[in-house]
Amino acid sequence: MTFLKSPTVAATAVTCPGLGYLATRAPSVDTPEFAFGEEANVNRRILITYATRAGSTAEVAAAIGETLSARGYVVDVKPVKQKPDLTGYAAIVMGSAIRMGNWLPEAVDFVKRNQSALNQVPVALFTVHMLNIGDDETSRTARLAYLNAVRPLLNNAEEVYFEGKMDFSRLSFLDRMIARMVGAVEADRRDWDRIRGWVPAALG
């Protein structure tokens, strides 16, 4: 199964602008913000920023926040769309869902716009996706390619990949059609023990 853009569906959406708008309008999704802990020494403050379309990456970000908070860090969890200020954090954890083989555009843009600030602190990246989950070489290569747009911009950022969730009720009509056409099934494959057990090496 592969998520390639469907020329027929995309062409229909483009040639009928009103229809295109309706087809791409997704149900509203929560992009919550959390703060774990209070004022602390800058060495203990961590920002977790995330990009989501259907909400599952936001829930993963919140779980990582809880883990780091339990380790004594003061953690802010914020959506990338809020363009969080990176000043005052000892480390940044950034995550995105995958769509069509890439991190979401707002997450890639955030890295581009904040490249120099990001390269002054340890950065760890988490990716939430459904395909290419095996340990074989083909899967691994395809999985690593999800970060091709951001990896070259960062100095040795740690990377982790988590299986995500496919929930058709949270997709736009167009995305739901694409998902059905490629044979995607609804499933929540998030491994919460693995997610909650992840601590970026720089913070371990």
Ligand X SMILES: Cc1cc2nc3c(=O)[nH]c(=O)nc-3n(C[C@H](O)[C@H](O)[C@H](O)COP(=O)(O)O)c2cc1C
Residues 52-71: x where in contact with ligand X by CB under 6 A, - otherwise, as a string = xxxxxx--------------
Which residue in 107, 128, 147, 150 binds ligand X (CB under 6 A)? 128
Q: Which is nearer to ligand X, 63 or 202 (CB)?
A: 63
Tokens of 168: 């058709």
In the complex, minimum distance from the CB of residue 188 to ligand X, in angstroms, rounded to a whole number: 9
On the 0-12 / 13-18 / 19+ scale of CB atoms within 10 A, 49 is buried
Report the SS3 class of residue 17: helix
The H or E element that residue 114 is part of is: none
Site for ligand X in 170-199 (CB under 6 A): 171, 175, 178-179
Which residue in 124, 130, 147, 195 binds ligand X (CB under 6 A)? 130
Using Cβ positions, the residue closest to ligand X within the complex turns out to be 164
Cβ neighbours of residue 186 closer than 8 Å, sequence gap 6 or more: 166, 167, 168
Residues 133-152: x where in contact with ligand X by CB under 6 A, - otherwise, as a string = --------------------
Cβ neighbours of residue 70 closer than 8 Å, sequence gap 6 or more: none
Given the rule CB under 6 A, which of 18-26, 37-45, 124-132, 194-202 is the region that contacts ligand X? 124-132
Output b/e per residue, 178-193; b: 16+ Cβ within 10 A.
Answer: bbeeeebeeeeebeee
Nearest to 27, CA basis, from 175, 128, 165, 131? 175
In the complex, minimum distance from the CB of residue 178 to ligand X, in angstroms, rounded to a whole number: 5
In the complex, minimum distance from the CB of residue 78 to ligand X, in angstroms, rounded to a whole number: 15
- 49 touching ligand X, by CB under 6 A: no
Angle at 91 between CA 86 and CA 95, to 5 degrees: 80
CA–chain centroid gap for 186, Å, is 19
Residues 71-100: x where in contact with ligand X by CB under 6 A, - otherwise, as a string = --------------------------xxxx
Given the rule CB under 6 A, which of 15-23, 48-56, 70-78, 195-203 is the region that contacts ligand X? 48-56
92 near 49, Cβ under 8 Å? yes
Residues that bind ligand X (CB under 6 A): 3, 52-57, 97-101, 128-132, 164-166, 171, 175, 178-179
